[in-house]
Every structure is written in C-alpha cells, then in structure tokens.
Structure 1
Amino acid sequence: MYNNSMKLLFLSSMMMGTILSISSNSWLGIWMGLEINLLSIIPMLTDNKNMMINEPAIKYFIIQAMASTTLLISILIIQTKYMMWWDKKNIPSMMIMSSMMMKMGAAPFHFWLPEVMSSTSWINCLVLMTWQKIAPMLIMSYCIKL
C-alpha cells in the first residue's frame, strides 16, 4: 500500500483531472482530463503484496481504455466534418454518450462494475462510485445540449 503522501498525490491529481475535464473548452482537454483521472485511480486500485488484487485494476483500465477510444473516435468524427455527409448527424453525440456511460458504469454498460467493486476496498469503492462519475456526467449534460 502507499503512504499518505502518495495517496494525497493521487487524490489531488484525480481532482485536477476532473476540474480539467469540466472546465475545458476543447474536446482534447476533456479527454486529457478524463485520462489524468484514470491514471490517478489505477495506482490506488493496485496492491504490490497480493497480485490477485490487481485484477480489478486491470479490468478497470481495459474498460476505461475502450471508452476513451470510443470518445476519441467520436471527437475525430466531429472535428473532420464528415457529419455533413451522413444522414444522421447525432451519431457522434450518441458515441460520446455511450463512452461516458461506459466510463461511469451506467446501464447498459455496467457489466464491469460489480466485478471491480467486489474486490476493492471501501474507500476505493467510494471514490469509484462518486468522484469518478462527476466528469462523465457533466460531459453527458454538454452532449444533451449539442
């Protein structure tokens, strides 16, 4: 486990990532904030003494990487102006919403959440269920306005 100064570093970088995501004016800044948030929670989920406890961190990382890839693809679609050729202009918005729902663990993308939550500590469960959902929820509210 990490000492208190390392926990403080990870928690402060998590807060910084969320604030960056919320206050950013560009999609790239939003994505960077979400990634800072992800990279600061992963060390809190791992344990050097027991390698079996690292399994939820790996699952969490893979799911978050898939959601981030979906977010980047939808951002590229928005930025390259291919939307003019499509009949349905809300496809990138739906992709952003689905990637944010996957990051939050909201239904129907919640398949990973019970497995990760069942094998983490209570404080990590608290962080995963509260702080990690703030930025994706606000990004979803931005997409509703699109």
Structure 2
Amino acid sequence: MGETPYFRVSPGQVQTHLEGNRLVLTCLAEGSWPLQYRWILNNTDITHFSPLYTYGIPVVQRSDAGLYQCVVRNRMGALLQRRAEVQVAFMGNFSGEEQRRTVSVGRAAVLNTPTVSCFPRPQVTWYRDGHKIIPSNRV
C-alpha cells in the first residue's frame, strides 16, 4: 500500500533576496516513492514534473519576484504547497544633486529626497555641513 505525498515543512514568511545573488527554493515532501515535483510562479508552471525537489535561480533578477508554489505527486495523488512570496531587493541609480536653499531665520526650508528606483524603500539620512541631522519635532 502507498502513502499520498505530504509536506514536512510549509513555506515560511516572505523571503527577500538581493538582486544578483543565487536563490534556491526547496520543497520538503514525503510519501511513497517515487516523488515528482513541479514549480509554479504566479500561477504559471515554470518547470515540468521531475525528481528535483529544489528550484534554483543562479542570478536573481527583479522579474523573479512573486509567489512560488511546489506541486508534489506520486502514484497515490498530488498536493499543492502553500504559496511562498519571494521579493527581490535592489538599489537603482539616483542623482545626488546638491540642494541649496536660502531662508530667513525662523522660516522653513523644504528639501526633496532624490528619486531612486529601489526595493525596499531606502532609509534617508540628512546632513548639514558634514554633520548628521538628528530628526526632531523641528526637523
């Protein structure tokens, strides 16, 4: 008698990987052998059934971000894994143009953060005369 496939481990929380790095996803399943695996990205098959329980991307690109799932099957049945979200962190180019404003004492000056294409959203630190400005109720 055989055993239908089952997952030993469910996917974890959101995974964030740095653009350009290697990514390996693993589908840990058990059941009667032989087990076969298929990978799905955003509800589209990206592999055919095979004995490989891992899916590797040698160089992660922004287009690799999305919801991944593994399907495992044997002669007793098939099972679809819960979705695992993969995000790709990247930093695009931005112009570090110097901004100068002249204002009267007691008046506000508004400086705009440079536009940058990136994920996740960057942390911005402002400096004045080479010294870090500590955020306060005035800044």
- TM over 0.5: same fold? no
Higher strand share: 2
- TM-score, structure 1 length as denominator? 0.31
- TM-score, structure 2 length as denominator? 0.32
Higher helix share: 1
Q: Compare CA radii of gyration and give the structure with the larger one.
A: 2
